[in-house]
Amino acid sequence: MKELTVQWAGPIQWAMPTPVDASGAPAELRATKRPIDAVADDVTSEATGHLVHDLPGDLYDVTIIINHGMYDVQPRVSPNRPIMDAAVFRRPDAWQAGEKLNLADETRRNGRADVSVRTWIDKATVEPISFSDTGLLPEGARQVSEQLILASLISQAGPPPYNPSGGQVYSAATRRVMHGMDLGVWMTRPCIIVMGHMGVGSTEKGAPCPTPMTIEGRDPNLRGRTFVRWVYPLDAAPPAILATPAVGEGEDGDEEGPGF
């Protein structure tokens, strides 16, 4: 048995997600940034627009990240506050090829008080999902999905809790492999990120290999799990530099940022 790692530098071979309007014509996606003092229940959705994909299979464990951009830089603010206003949404159903995805529906809060990327990552990394002794990913399909999604966003995790007087046991998120998968660079600017997995359905026998490959001139017909990540840049919105704390920020800097 030989284990290979292949890096493909050619053009994309598959039809990735494409923004369309209600009629299917090319269109744009937009993020709908909520006001700072808005109650979560009053916010309808985080983004608008439609997406469709023509990948050779359905996408499972679909995760949608809406990043509105970085918070304003201001004095006397807790260093534990997230630097970006980003929300995460998980789709329970598979996204079928040719199905039109309505972001206004997929990113609706529906009364959820906190869908921030920071909070979701911190909660997801509390319970470790360990590699086996052989260095392979866990066998559970859902666990593998979680590992690859967390590998893409783990740089956004907050510092571990620390209580020097209480002897509190805490966990720190760590990563030993997959450093090159980090999407943290996109957390510094507004964007929409869609991630999902192909070839993991109960009736599927794996997705075709997205990288052109031959063995002695023959197609090896490789199939397995394919992790799809798609990033849609939005208009730049650099953070402001404030000389005084914003309204609502505490003098001691213990208050969280807007939306938390």
Helix (H, G, I), strand (E, B) or coil at 224: strand
Which residues share a beta bridge with 67?
86, 191
Rg (the chain; Cα; Å): 20
Helix (H, G, I), strand (E, B) or coil at 26: strand
Are 26 and 17 within 8 A, CB to CB?
no
**pLDDT tens-digit map of 93-145:** 999 999 999 999 898 876 555 578 888 887 776 655 444 444 444 455 567 77
Q: Where are the alpha helices (DSSP H) in the chain?
A: 103-106, 117-124, 141-153
205 is in which domain, residue-wise? Answer: 40-118+181-233
Q: What is the dihedral of CA 90, 92, 98, 101, to 10 degrees?
A: -50
Residue 174 lies in a domain: no
CA-based nearest residue to 158, from 193, 195, 116, 200: 116
Residue 144 lies in a domain: no
The count of domains in the chain is 1
Residue 102 lies in a domain: yes
**Angstrom distances, CA of residue 14 to CA of 91, 152, 215:** 22, 21, 21
Give the per-residue pLDDT at 133: 42
Which residues share a beta bridge with 241?
73
Residue 78 lies in a domain: yes
**pLDDT tens-digit map of 195-253:** 999 988 766 678 888 888 888 999 888 888 889 999 999 998 888 888 776 655 544 44
Structure tokens at 257: 């940022």
Give the per-residue pLDDT at 39: 60
Terminal Cα-to-Cα distance of the chain (whole angstroms): 50
Residue 151 lies in a domain: no
Which residues, in sequence order, are CB contacts of 225 under 8 Å at separation 6+?
144, 197, 198, 199, 200, 206, 207
Residue 197 lies in a domain: yes
What is the DSSP secondary structure assignment for residue 158, as one 8-state letter? Answer: P
Are 106 and 99 within 8 A, CB to CB?
no
Structure tokens at 13: 């071979």
**pLDDT tens-digit map of 5-49:** 788 888 878 889 999 998 889 999 999 876 656 665 556 688 999
Give the per-residue pLDDT at 1: 87
Structure tokens at 136: 């392979």
3-state helix, strand, coil in the chain (%, to 5): 15, 20, 65
Residue 28 lies in a domain: no
